Structure 1
Amino acid sequence: MRLASLIAFVAFAGVAGCTTYRPEPIAAAQLAQEFEQRSLASEEFRAYVVRATGRDFAPWPPARWNRELLTLAAFYYSPALDLARAQWGTAKAGIDVANSIPNPVLQLPFQYNTPNPGPGAPFTWGPSLDIPIETAHKRGYRVDQASHLSEAARLAIGNEAWKVRAQVRDALLALYAARERSAFLSRKAGAAQQIVQMVTKRRAVGENSGPDVNAAVLAATQAEADLAASRSAEQDARAQLAAAIGVPVAALNGIEFDPGGFGTVPPAPPAADAQRDAILHRADLLASLADYAAAESALQLEVAKQYPDIHLGPGYTYDTGTHKIGFGLAGITLPIFDQNQGGTAQAEAKRREAAARTTALQDTILGDLDHALARYRAGLDAVQLSARHLATARRQLDSQAAGFAAGNTDRLTFTQASADYEANAIAHLDAVVAAQQAAGALEDAMQRPLASGAANESLTQQESR
């Protein structure tokens, strides 16, 4: 009876130590309200920036926001990163599940005997335990598999963080391009309107014909339309930047942006260095390798399942007046008909699939890298050619300005030269933006920034806020 009391006490203590359920309901209206309240001026975000950079910003918020600060804002608010962090938490919890020891099973058989065969009470009863003991290091293989899956989930945070950083970079580039283009187009549209006025006056005195006026009006109208489209693109870029950060567009009102080097392009890295960075630093490739290691551990587990587990069955039995203490084996699975050949074969197939997936990803990365590097080098050549063309246009404009000041060139010719220069400046801007886009594609292929001034924070450390 003392043994039965002890077993009952242990069972009660185990139930008493269970975790309780705590509800955490969410509502769509509440989530929408929280989103609208997000701000770059919040003190919580400031504390995150201080932890991430190791330096304080006073006053807060800063007067100008560069790419690094906006990237940190995206790391803080991005829902995609929140999801990746939550998935890593789930994967880490899987390690605890894999490392858990199987619980013993309490058995309470009862049998009433009639007629009574013994001198005692006419029943047979007694508690017993079924204690499973895993063999062949099965629990260790499960822990290894869960640990590799957790590592893959952690690396997925870095991969997602790079995507967020790239989205901020692309949005800032679009905003920079739209603003610079608007400035050039504004001056070009102003010059075009002056040309219309001058050509109209000349027609009145018979110096120009109707087609000349129509051509000038058409050019001015096109310049105004291009300016309106550029200003619309600027608003779209602001919305794109807000979406990349994870804040409402209103949170960017009053923010002054620092383009931070978009006007210049860094040199192309050597092909060998770019390939090394892509292979050693791509978070998605490292995560794929972790998935392969998990498949390897899963195969080891399936092989170990060929060896049966042991079930110990200690217990006490009262049998119509006789007290019996048992210490036998509750059961051993005999691998006679199945040596887990099906599970092993499936695990081997999954390992081959993981290896093929990793190889295919690496081939894709190297192919994208070669294409991005060639595109970037071509973009750099186009920028140099455009810069030389712009320098020639600048000299021509300076020459026209000197002639106008000396009275050798009329105002119409000088104004037309000014409009032509702005058109060349826009063409040069387009070449620079195209090169920056190619640089972004190269950075994405390597998952490494080309410029040291870019946000260089370790992306694999973005596990939590």
Structure 2
Amino acid sequence: MRRALLIAFMASAAMAGCTTYHPQPIAPEQLAQQFEQRSLVSEDLHAYVVRETGHDAAPWPPAVWNREMLTLAAFYYSPALDLARAQWSTAKAGIDVAGSIPNPVLQLPFQYNTPNPGPGAPFTWGPSLDIPIETAHKRGYRVDQATHLSEAARLNIVDAAWKVRAQVRDAMLALYAARRRTAFLSAKADAERQIAQMSRHRLAAGQYSRPDVDSAVLADTQALSDLAAARSAEQDALAQLAAAIGVPASALDGVTLDLSAFETVPPAPPAADAQRAAIFHRADLRASLADYAAAESALQLEVAKQYPDIHLGSGYTYDTGTNKIGFGLAGITLPIFDQNQGGIKEAEARRKEAAIRTGALQDLILGALAHALARYRSGIEALHRSDAHLATARRQLDSQAAAFASGNADRLTFTQAKADYQASETARLDAEIAVQQAAGALEDAMQQPLAPIGHEAVSHPLSEETPR
């Protein structure tokens, strides 16, 4: 009876350390409500910004939101980063699983004997333990593999953060382009409207032909259509920016945005520096190297499985009146047939696959980098040509303005010159946006900014916990 009570006590003690289950149901209505409640004035967001930047963001909310602050907000709300953080937590838990020591197995055999061969009760019973002991450093290789996988998951957070940062940058660039284009096209539409009105007046006075008036009206209509498209593009860019941050579009209502970062064009880096940055800063390449290291550890584990584990057996047995205490080897697996050759070959193939995948990714990165660098350099040259063309157009407009002021040119000619100049400004804007897009592609190829925008450490939010 005492032995039975002891066994029951040991079992209850083991159960006392078990973790209990706590349900966490997901309600779609609650998720939708939480999304609609997100805003840029949240105090929780304020606390996150302070924690990430290391200094107080006063006043809160800021009067003007620049690229750095919007990127921090995106890091806070981004579901892609939430997923990457959750995956890292899962991978870190895998290290604990890999490092766990195999539990002993409690055995409670019972046998009733008839006829009774001994002087005692006619049964045989007693608890015994099967204690497994792993050999050949198997547990260490499992831990190494899980650690490398955890490192790959950690680097995936950095990769996801860069993609979120790039989405914010691209959305802000689209908004910058739409607002600048709206300003230019608004001035051009105003000039084209005046030209159409003056053309009608001249037609009535017999100074213009109908085709000339029709041409002016068509130009006026096209200018209005282009202006409407630019205004629509501005709304689309705002929606794109809200999606990149992870907030409803209404959260940007009344928010003043600083888009001045796109008014400067950093110089193109030397090819060697850009290549070095791509190799050492690309988180996806470093994660691929971590995956390869995990494949190495997996191969080491499969090789170690050729060596058998040992099972120690100990226990007490009551055998028809005789008390027996046993201790010895409960079993040893003898690898005399395949010696785990199948597992070793599969692990070797996976290691080779990981090596090829890493090499292919590096080739892809270097190819994309060369293309992005060439595109950026040619974009800078095109922008310089556009600057020269715009300067010429400006001189022509100034000349027409002087002629109009002195009476040597009429209002229609001067207004037409203003419309032509607005077209030159729009063409220069197209070149400016093209070079900024090329700069973004080059930054993505290196996963490193061409020019600092502030506290660049925020590009690597490595906290494994979801900020909210």
Is this a same-fold pair by TM over 0.5?
Answer: yes
CA contact (8 A) 1:264 1:432 kept: no
Separation in 2 of the partners of 1:162 and 1:229? 31
Partner in structure 2 of residue 84 of structure 1: 84
Which residue identity is paired with 2:415?
Answer: T
Partner in structure 2 of residue 18 of structure 1: 18
Separation in 2 of the partners of 1:455 and 1:407? 56
Separation in 2 of the partners of 1:293 and 1:132? 28
Task: Name the count of aligned residue pairs.
Answer: 465
Separation in 2 of the partners of 1:120 and 1:22? 50
Separation in 2 of the partners of 1:245 and 1:461? 15
Deviates more, 1:453-462 or 1:289-298: 453-462
1:456 CA drift (Å): 1.7
CA contact (8 A) 2:75 2:461 kept: no
Partner in structure 2 of residue 157 of structure 1: 157
Separation in 2 of the partners of 1:450 and 1:83? 28
Partner in structure 1 of residue 405 of structure 2: 405
Separation in 1 of the partners of 2:2 and 2:379? 85
Partner in structure 2 of residue 46 of structure 1: 46
CA contact (8 A) 1:155 1:460 kept: no
Separation in 2 of the partners of 1:281 and 1:89? 23
DSSP 3-state at the match of 1:220: helix
Q: Within 5 Å, which residues of 2 pair with 1:276-315?
A: 276-315=276-315
Matched residues, percent identical? 76
CA contact (8 A) 1:195 1:416 kept: yes
Residue 185 (1) aligns with residue 185 (2): yes
Q: Within 5 Å, which residues of 2 pair with 1:184-333?
A: 184-333=184-333
Give CA-to-partner distance per residue, 1:299-344, whole Å, 9 cap, x none: 0000000000000000111111111110111100011112111001
CA contact (8 A) 1:154 1:460 kept: no
Deviates more, 1:227-236 or 1:201-210: 201-210
Separation in 1 of the partners of 2:429 and 2:457? 29
DSSP 3-state at the match of 2:259: coil
Partner in structure 1 of residue 342 of structure 2: 342
Which residue identity is paired with 1:367?
Answer: G
Separation in 2 of the partners of 1:459 and 1:9? 53
Partner in structure 2 of residue 127 of structure 1: 127
CA contact (8 A) 1:166 1:444 kept: yes
Separation in 1 of the partners of 2:337 and 2:283? 44
1:58 CA drift (Å): 2.4
1:459 CA drift (Å): 3.2
Question: CA, structure 1 residues 460+258, in 2 after alignment: closer, same or farther (shift >3 Å)?
Answer: closer
Which residue identity is paired with 2:214?
Answer: N
1:59 CA drift (Å): 2.3
Which residue identity is paired with 1:238?
Answer: L
CA RMSD of aligned residues (A): 1.1
Partner in structure 2 of residue 66 of structure 1: 66
Partner in structure 2 of residue 383 of structure 1: 383
Which residue identity is paired with 1:330?
Answer: A
Separation in 2 of the partners of 1:33 and 1:45? 17
Partner in structure 2 of residue 356 of structure 1: 356
Separation in 2 of the partners of 1:406 and 1:239? 49
Which residue identity is paired with 1:398?
Answer: D
1:29 CA drift (Å): 0.6
1:139 CA drift (Å): 0.4
Which residue identity is paired with 2:356?
Answer: A
The two structures have a TM-score, normalised by structure 1, of 0.98
Q: Which runs of 5+ in 1 are unaligned?
A: none
DSSP 3-state at the match of 2:316: strand
Separation in 2 of the partners of 1:237 and 1:194? 30
The two structures have a TM-score, normalised by structure 2, of 0.98
Separation in 2 of the partners of 1:212 and 1:43? 61
Which residue identity is paired with 1:46?
Answer: H
Which residue identity is paired with 2:351?
Answer: R
Which residue identity is paired with 2:109?
Answer: P
Separation in 2 of the partners of 1:318 and 1:57? 74
Deviates more, 1:176-185 or 1:261-270: 261-270
1:148 CA drift (Å): 0.3
Q: Which runs of 5+ in 2 are unaligned?
A: none
Separation in 2 of the partners of 1:323 and 1:90? 48
CA contact (8 A) 1:191 1:415 kept: yes
